[in-house]
Chains A and B, each alone.
Chain A
Amino acid sequence: MERGLVTLIGMSIAYVASLLGMLFAWWAWRKRKPPQPKGGPR
């Protein structure tokens, strides 16, 4: 199989795992969100 296509499939699999972890974090954040401090110096 062509190397480029192979890369696309391989990276996509890895990214699905990361995306699931991120969605989980977002779900927990919505539930437990702490108070927001002010922004920093520009």
Chain B
Amino acid sequence: MIHFTALDWFWTGAFLLLMVGGAFFFYRLARRSESDFFLAGRGLPWWLPASSVFSTHTATDTPMWVTGTVYAHGLRGLWYTFFAAWTAVASFVSARIFRRSLAYTQAEWQTLRFGGLGSELLRGWLAGWQVFMNMFILGWVGMAMGKVCNLAFGWPLWVGLVLPTVITAFYTLAAGFWGVVMGDFLQGIVAVFAIVLVSMVGVFAAGGPTEVTTALVEMGEGWRLDPLAFTGWFTGDFPAVWWLTMLIIAVVGGFGMGTSIDWYVEAQRIQSAKTVRDGSYGLWAGGAITLVRNSFWAAAILAFFVLVPHIPNAAEYELGWFRLGFELLPAGLVGVFFAAILAIHLSTISSHLNLGALYFTRDLFQRYLKPEADERTLVWVGRIATFVLLIGSFFYGLMMEEITQWLIFALWLMMAGIWLPNILQVVWWRFNAWGYLSSWIANLGISWLVVWVLPSFGVLPELPEYVQFWLLMGLGAVVFVPATLLTKPEPIEHLVAYFVMTRPLGWWGPVRREAVRRGLLDEEAKPVAGERRPLIRRTWTPEQADAWSREDWIAIVLSPLVFGVGMIGLAKLLLLQPSGFTLTAAAVVIGLVVYWVIDPKLRAVSTDYEAKQAQYLERLERRLHWEYGDALGTTARTER
């Protein structure tokens, strides 16, 4: 237990008031419409979604998890957190496509990408999944807060679970996504301040950056400073094949939608951005700050290892970063630190409350029960759904703690089995709703077989997780590829409408040709004889900007490099290792190159698309109300 002085309580209270009051302030905006309550009116500049991406993904249990991997593995443990790099690619691929679809949710996107009964079944499936999943995450994160409060103050677990969550619900119910995103901004500032402060205090408590590295070498633990300290290709607790698998899952996953469980949260933030460009940069910056955060934590945990080496019990060393804050900070600042812990908790809770309510309101209530509901009704349904999720999460957190542990592993498997279909649905026109739905359903049976049934009967050995991933992916393909090819493609009108609106990357040739034939798109312009295309194009016509080009590929390839080199470089820089300076500088330079190459194109895409957005939004609402007629807009040249 920690000793809290009056000054600590004052600072905790002051910060809490600032964060909650700042969020509640926007309740008048939230009550205007469904779009305001769930997407902040689709008008946010990139830095607000960015801070929200970062804040939401910094939950109470995140420091424990990152601390655990770095304490056990040293700097190579940072690669476990590198899954966030999917945002590096997604910012320039799936974020752009999703933002152009204007779908409120991933479930709604399914009905834009696919057509007919299959798309509706998928929408219902994903909506049910997301309502449950957000309740589950609320219970899981809430319980982590219960444990932190128990550690800090000796409070019973339920107090830490219920009290901060109720405070969060107060502004989430009133101010909807406006409250969430404004709260996230304020909470993000407090969290970054505390993460930098506590991490640096930890490093200097161990003697300073140079002393940390010297001590590690003297202890015979110098390998902990090597981010590529593999234990072999296939053997040990950090095989190179596992590392490569993680890189592929993250980076290639950026081409898809839903390849990471985080996608569903980010999708809401992408859609709340005021332009396509803001949506891209919001996701990119949010992912980048998240990895910078991990670098600070890594430096601090290496220092913690020097201070308290070789703790055998994971549950104990996972609390390392919290111990640095509570044990090393002076009176007053401990209160600020606790306020930061509350901040990271509030931001995660508010996001998942609002997101779960969004799936219930938009995809279940409005689409399937009452399409004619007015804006006022929808806002109230959103509030009621938020409240129900809140109560459900309490029961979940208190009564099903063990199941929560089960689900974390189950979730990983779930992502393995549908990872490839999540990409195919974005990049391949022929992939259809039945293929995607079959992959979800088959994944359950295949996971049972591979992970439980076959090992129980001795048919399969207990497999390493990277083998499980590839096996589940391969077995899933045995189901979803035939399911796709043996059923009809999506209706061509539907595919053309989707293509013209979102301009997806990948294999869309037949659909593009049909769009051209219908006069909805221009033929790709042939280069005029003697006219040379610049190596990097800096001025774009709308037609040129809508097509995928080498500038996009430069951004797609270099962006994850910025994330990886930057994450490792900064952690080393904080420990004053010479390679840290070089790597960090390289990441900054490559980042600037990416911006220089892609920004003119993103501006052109945004300007052109925003001119058509009102028309697309009207069409989206007509389809939501089951009014089809010419709702696809593919019978006449209306796009340009």
- Please give the residue numbers on chain A whose beta carbons come within 8 Å of chain B beta carbons, in ascending order: 1-15, 17-29, 32-42
A22-B128 contact in complex given A7-B410, A7-B413, C-beta closer than 8 Å: yes
B510 touches which of A9, A23, A41 (Cβ 8 Å): A41
Asked if B409 contacts A25 (CB within 8 A), the reply is no
Residues on the B chain within 8 Å of A15, using CB: 444
Say yes or no: A21 contacts B129, CB within 8 Å: yes
Please tell me if the beta carbons of B409 and A18 are within 8 angstroms of each other in the complex: no
Choose one: A13, A21, A35, A37; the contact of B127 (CB below 8 Å): A21
Give complex CA distance A6, B401 in Å: 13
Number of A-B contacts (CB under 8 A): 136
Inter-subunit contact A3/B409 (CB<8 Å): yes
Complex formed: what's the CA distance from A23 to B133 in Å? 18
Which residues, 150 to 187 on B, are CB-close (under 8 Å) to A?
none
Residue B193 at the chain A interface, CB threshold 8 Å: no
- Minimum C-beta distance from B546 to chain A (A): 21
Taking a contact as CB atoms closer than 8 A, the residue among A7, A24, A38, A41 that contacts B364 in the complex is A24
Chain A residues with CB below 8 A from B133, complex form: 14, 17
CB-based contact A14/B414 at 8 Å? yes
Chain B residues positioned under 8 Å from A42 (CB to CB): 489
Binds A, one of B41-49, B241-249, B448-456, B521-529: B448-456
Q: Is the interface of B mostly helix, strand, loop or mixed?
A: helix
On whether the beta carbons of A34 and B626 are closer than 8 Å, the reply is yes
Contact pick for B126, options A4, A18, A41, CB 8 Å: A18
Docked complex Cα distance between A35 and B115 (Å): 11
Task: State whether the Cβ of B81 lies closer than 8 Å to any Cβ in chain A.
Answer: no
Q: In the bound complex, what is the Cα–Cα distance between A16 and B121 (angstroms)? A: 14
Selected contact of B448 from candidates A8, A36, A39, A41, CB within 8 Å: A8
Contacts of B452 in A (CB 8 A): 2, 4-5, 7-8
Contact across chains for A17 and B368 when beta carbons are under 8 A apart: no
> What are the residues of chain B within 8 A of A22 when measuring CB–CB?
121, 124-125, 128
A17–B451 touching, CB < 8 Å? no
- Say how far B393's CB is from chain A's closest CB, in angstroms: 14
Contact check, A19 vs B492: say whether CB atoms are below 8 A apart: no
Report yes or no: B455 in contact with A4, Cβ–Cβ below 8 A: yes
Known: A39-B492, A40-B489, A40-B492. 8 other contacts (CB 8 A): A3-B409, A13-B407, A14-B133, A17-B129, A21-B364, A25-B127, A28-B369, A34-B628
B128 touches which one: A6, A19, A34 (CB < 8 A)? A19
Could you say which of A7, A13, A28, A34 contacts B367, with CB atoms under 8 Å apart? A28
Q: Which residues of the partner chain A approach B448 to less than 8 Å between Cβ atoms?
A: 7-8, 11
List 11 interface pairs A-B (beta carbons < 8 Å), by A numbering: A2-B452, A6-B406, A8-B448, A13-B403, A14-B407, A14-B410, A17-B129, A19-B125, A21-B129, A29-B120, A37-B492
- Residues of B within 8 Å of A, CB-based: how many? 53
Q: Would B405 and A11 count as touching, CB distance under 8 A?
A: no
**Residues of the A chain whose Cβ atoms lie less than 8 Å from the Cβ of B124:** 21-26
Task: Please state if A40 and B490 are interface contacts (CB–CB under 8 Å).
Answer: yes
* Chain B residues with CB under 8 A of A32: 626
Q: How far is the CA of A13 from the CA of B120 in the complex (A)?
A: 22
| B403 close to A10 (CB less than 8 A) | yes
Residue B440 at the A interface, CB < 8 A?
Answer: yes
Give the secondary structure class of A's interface.
helix
Chain A residues with CB under 8 A of B447: 7, 11
- In the complex, are the beta carbons of A17 and B131 less than 8 A apart? yes
Give the chain A neighbours of B129 by CB distance below 8 A. 14, 17-18, 21
CA distance A9 to B116 in the complex (A): 32
Q: Which residue of A lies closest to B371 (CB)?
A: A32
Tell me, in angstroms, the Cα distance from A39 to B440 when the chains sit together. 24
A10–B115 contact, CB under 8 A?
Answer: no
B637 CB contacts on chain A under 8 angstroms: none
Q: In the complex, what residues of B have CB within 8 A of residue A29's CB?
A: 117, 120-121
How far in angstroms is the closest Cβ of chain B from A37? 4
User: A2–B402 Cα gap in the complex (Å)?
Assistant: 12
- Bound-state Cα–Cα, A42 to B626, Å: 27
Assembled-state Cα–Cα distance A34/B626 (Å): 7
Asked whether any CB of chain A lies closer than 8 Å to the CB of B572, the reply is: no
With the chains together, A8 CA to B410 CA distance in Å?
8
- What are the 9 closest A-B residue pairs judged by CB atoms, nearest first? A21-B128, A25-B124, A4-B452, A17-B132, A10-B406, A28-B368, A10-B410, A40-B492, A40-B489
Pick from B406, B493, B494: contact of A7, CB under 8 Å: B406
Instruction: Report the minimum CB–CB distance from A36 to chain B (whole Å).
Output: 7
Identity of the chain A residue whose Cβ is nearest the Cβ of B405 in the assembled complex? A6
State the CA gap A15–B133 with chains docked (Å).
10
Task: Find the residue from B126, B407, B453 having the highest chain A CB count within 10 A.
Answer: B407
Whether B495 contacts A11 by the Cβ 8 Å rule is no
Complex alpha-carbon distance, A14 and B129, angstroms: 7
Chain A residues near B262: list those with CB within 8 A.
none
B488 at interface, CB cutoff 8 A: yes
User: Per-residue CB proximity of B488-531 to A under 8 Å, as 1/0?
Assistant: 11111111000000000000001100100000000000000000
Q: Please, which residues of chain A bring their CB within 8 A of the CB of B451?
A: 3-4, 7
With a CB–CB cut-off of 8 A, which chain B residues contact A1?
402
Q: Are A9 and B123 in contact (CB under 8 A)?
A: no
Q: Which of B97-148 contact A (CB under 8 A)?
A: 115-117, 120-121, 123-129, 131-133, 136
How far is it, in angstroms, between the C-alpha of A34 and the C-alpha of B491 when the chains are bound? Answer: 13
Of the candidates B125, B488, B489, the one whose C-beta lies within 8 Å of that of A25 is: B125
**Assembled-state Cα–Cα distance A4/B453 (Å):** 8
Residue from A12, A20, A40 in contact with B491 in the complex, judged by beta carbons closer than 8 Å: A40
Candidate in B126, B440, B452 with the most chain A CB atoms within 10 angstroms: B452
With both chains docked as a complex, state the minimum distance between the C-beta of B121 and any C-beta of chain A, in angstroms: 5
Residues of B within 8 A of A8 (CB): 448, 452
